[in-house]
Amino acid sequence: MLIHLIAAARPNFMKIAPLYHALKKEEWATPIIVHTGQHYDLNMSDAFFKDLGLPEPDIHLGIGSGTHAEQAGRVMIAYEKTLIETKPDLVIVVGDVNSTMAATLAAAKLGIKVAHVEAGLRSFDRTMPEEINRIVTDSLADILFTPSKDGDENLIREGIPKAKIKMVGNIMIDTLIANLEKARNKKTHMHLGLKEKDFVYVTLHRPSNVDKKATLSTIMEHLYRLSSFLPVCFPLHPRTRKMLTTYGISCRSNNHLKLIDPIGYHDSICLAEQARFVLTDSGGLQEETTFFKTPCLTLRPNTERPVTITDGSNKLTNIENLWPDIENLLNDSHKTGKIPELWDGHTAERIVERLRE
């Protein structure tokens, strides 16, 4: 069974890694990594392949950046050619980035079966490009692997037959557990001059937070203020750095507010575990902090990962509430939560088992 695994952007590499390693052990399966090239910088792509023990992609489409239509269109055109040449039996897509949706469309139109890992997540906010990608991908996929019960409920409500849906747990947690020792050994916080549980780890890159000048400068003001209470470590996503430069907002790093280049997977996991709290708009960090029971503030009006709030350590915030919410955390009032069902490191095994059947 020839299986394409679609890699594309930073969060996807963590989701395909456990599947690649699990499928590689199966005699009946030949997994092939297809990198669309949506993310291409060394520290946004290659570093993750290295950290996760993934080989060089078998196929690289070299798509690069662009508007949503340009990016999705380029993936469809390039990937259709690959599909026709290589004729896979199954395409596995993960997550919700533009390449996930575009690869699904190209495969579905050629009648090639698609499995979606991390299916069923919904923020119910169609201003988020990822929500559109999720809806399109799930409506076309033949097999839908969900991370949590809310995923199953969302899909059933949308009329997807139950037989196509299988709750398998959270694939990101497979990667986290498999890499925990390496991440801990890195002691990234110490190399950055930060002490255990005595700093804040920040990641922000969503267009809704970084693309508007007023919002981005307010966020930066809050971060400077926060850094007078606790050191802050903020690796800048290329989109965020670009917007700071475009708007002429200072991104000078100092000992209290460390604005650094994007960091690797092990470094990020180490900081997520060691931080006093995390401020983010990333999907993955909402889940990783839930696993570590590290308090997390998510600067978004909604989340497609509600289990991180109902079960985990996550709380939504907005620009108006950001400072009061930060103050609460500085005063040590926070919840730690519990680890959700099937976030146990065996999700890839459950997926492989189902595919074997």
User: Of the candidates 287, 290, 226, which has an alpha carbon nearest to the alpha carbon of residue 258?
Assistant: 226
- What is the nearest approach in angstroms of ligand UD1 to the Cβ of residue 168? 21
User: Of the candidates 208, 209, 212, 190, which has an alpha carbon nearest to the alpha carbon of residue 199?
Assistant: 190
Q: How far apart are CA 140 and CA 153, in angstroms?
A: 17
- What is the nearest approach in angstroms of ligand UD1 to the Cβ of residue 75? 10
Catalytic annotation, pick one of 4, 39, 189, 205: 205
What are all long-range contacts of 68-74, with beta carbons under 8 Å and residues at least 24 apart? Answer: 68/98, 68/129, 71/38, 71/98, 71/99, 71/102, 72/98, 72/99, 72/101, 72/102, 72/105, 73/102
Contacting residues toward ligand UD1, per CB under 6 A: 9-11, 38-41, 44, 65, 97-98, 129-130, 205, 237-239, 242
Which residue lies nearer to ligand UD1 by CB, 9 or 61? 9
Which residue lies nearer to ligand UD1 by CB, 48 or 277? 48
Which residue lies nearer to ligand UD1 by CB, 41 or 198? 41
- What is the nearest approach in angstroms of ligand UD1 to the Cβ of residue 19? 19
DSSP-based three-state secondary structure for 89: coil
Q: Strand pairing partners for 117?
A: 94, 145
| Percentage helix, strand, coil for the chain under 3-state DSSP, each rounded to 5 | 50, 15, 35
> Is 205 assigned a catalytic role?
yes
Which residue lies nearer to ligand UD1 by CB, 191 or 242? 242
- What is the nearest approach in angstroms of ligand UD1 to the Cβ of residue 352? 26
Just list the catalytic residues.
205
